[in-house]
Amino acid sequence: MTVPTINNPNLIRKGAYINGEWITEAAKRFDVTDPANEQKIADLPDQDLSVVDEAIDAAAEAFKTFKKTTPRQRATWLRNLYNLMNENVEDLAKIISWENGKALSEARGEVKYAASYFEWFSEEAPRIYGKTIQPGNPANRVFTVYQPVGVCGIITPWNFPSAMITRKAGAALAAGCTLVIKPDSQTPLSALALAYLAEQAGFPKGVFNVVLTHTQTPAFGLRLCEHKKVKKISFTGSTNVGKILMNQSASTLKKLSMELGGNAPVIIFKDADLDKAVEQALASKFRGLGQTCVCANRLYVEKDILEEFETKFAAEVKKFVVGPGLDSATTHGSLINERAIAKVEEHIEDAISKGAKVVVRGGKRSDLGPNFYEPAVLSNVDSSMKVTYEETFGPLGAIIPFDDVDQVIEDANNVDVGLAAYVFSKNINTIYKVSEGLEFGMVSCNTGVFSDSATPFGGVKESGFGREGSYLGVLDYLVVKSVIHSVDF
């Protein structure tokens, strides 16, 4: 077993974090394993459902005073947290790579990206402004104020175990909300490291809470959704689970943010800078070995450049070095588990059986470990194949030829989800036509990597609602209060 050398051993925590206390005891425990070799790397408490109530009560009590802190004070704490993350980049990256399997270089990028949200929202906290309004009655005056919504339940996935928390927590803390965070049981160590740093940054006890479970994940989610003291749920994950959480939240009419599944099209026109399109499509498709909600799932390539694109794309894929994430030579690490491999293989076999052409076969690398998979590339893909209407969430590049702009827009839109899409062309008219015609919350033009703390992140259709990051991100954690005065002149 490869154990990373951690400069700050305090970042490796052995329990949940509730009301400023580290809780290590529980009747049951669960193992966290390294997906590269499936060896145990941590032993954590598999907490009872009652712990969720304790965390919610602690957050609700802390909210009474935290909501009254000044925006500048909250900004200072957030800035402290940003600085602490940057001081511990290498350690935090190793923890991500260890529990998630991604290459260390990608993990470093995630930590820096994750930290940027604390910086961004430290700057947004003092800029939460209300407005003055003149109503129809000339004797009345109206002004609005934004107030924090209250206790927020944050439920996050395994693929970005740090960034999926900070993107939500940064906005919530800036607004004056308190948090109960439920990380994925496959990758809880990053969440606990963030809790430790939040403690060091000066946040009062009860503001930042992390609960842990492996066997009772659905029950934990249900309790967060149905508890009256929880006023907001923010979830990143699959569309199916998002629908369940939304239904469970109906009884209390909670405020919700849902960042759900995607099926991103990349549309490459013959007038695009082909080398750049190849480079950026690769970056989008194989980031985290395709285990991202915004990664390219369908590569639409205009027929005139199809053969050249395939050749160049395949040549670059063959340069990848798949291996243990903590190995400095590795460009792409392991998948998260065997179910991820099964989904990729299902899509590959389905496409080949229906006439897809193998450009790069890829396949399991059992010599490296149980969850390693060489990326695959297929061409001659069409709409009858599963990869076009299901999200693969793995290292399969599916190339689909097209020759009509209106048809490719229609094909790209012919899915229930609408998170991210990509367009490559040098023609500004094409860029505008296609980007405005695509039914997706984010359309990235001539670049395959667009995520930034300043950019609104979110989807449409069954990819969810709400926006994370940017000046809009904090609004999802606020409610508007109108104050009306009658003035006697």
Check whether domain 264-452 has CATH 3.30.300.130, yes or no: no
**Residues 211-260 pLDDT 10s:** 999 999 999 999 999 999 999 999 999 999 999 999 999 999 999 999 99
**Residues 122-154 pLDDT 10s:** 999 999 999 999 999 999 999 999 999 999 999
- Residues 6+ positions from 209 with CB-CB distance below 8 Å: 17, 18, 19, 55, 58, 59, 178, 179, 180, 181, 195
Tell me if domain 9-260+464-482 and domain 264-452 are identical in fold.
no
Looking at residue 101, what is its pLDDT? 97
Say whether pLDDT at 470 is over 60. yes
Say whether pLDDT at 487 is over 90. no
Say whether pLDDT at 3 is over 80. no
Compute φ and ψ for 46, nearest 5 degrees.
-90, 90
Amino acid 267 reads: I
Q: Which stretch of DSSP H or E encloses residue 52?
A: helix 50-66
**On the CB side of 225, how many CA atoms lie within 13 Å of its CA?**
22
Q: Give me the active site residues, please.
A: 259
**Residues 61-100 pLDDT 10s:** 999 999 999 999 999 999 999 999 999 999 999 999 999 9
Amino acid 448 reads: G
Q: Quick check: helix, strand or coil at residue 401?
A: strand
Looking at residue 488, what is its pLDDT? 83
**Residues 257-311 pLDDT 10s:** 999 999 999 999 999 999 999 999 999 999 999 999 999 999 999 999 999 999 9
Say whether pLDDT at 1 is over 70. no
Domain ranges of the chain: 9-260+464-482, 264-452
- Residues 6+ positions from 66 with CB-CB distance below 8 Å: 176, 177, 178, 204, 206, 207
Looking at residue 322, what is its pLDDT? 97
The CATH code belonging to domain 9-260+464-482 is: 3.40.605.10
Looking at residue 2, what is its pLDDT? 59
* Cα R_g (the chain), whole angstroms: 23
CA-CA-CA-CA torsion sign (59, 159, 441, 224): negative
DSSP conformational letter for 203: P
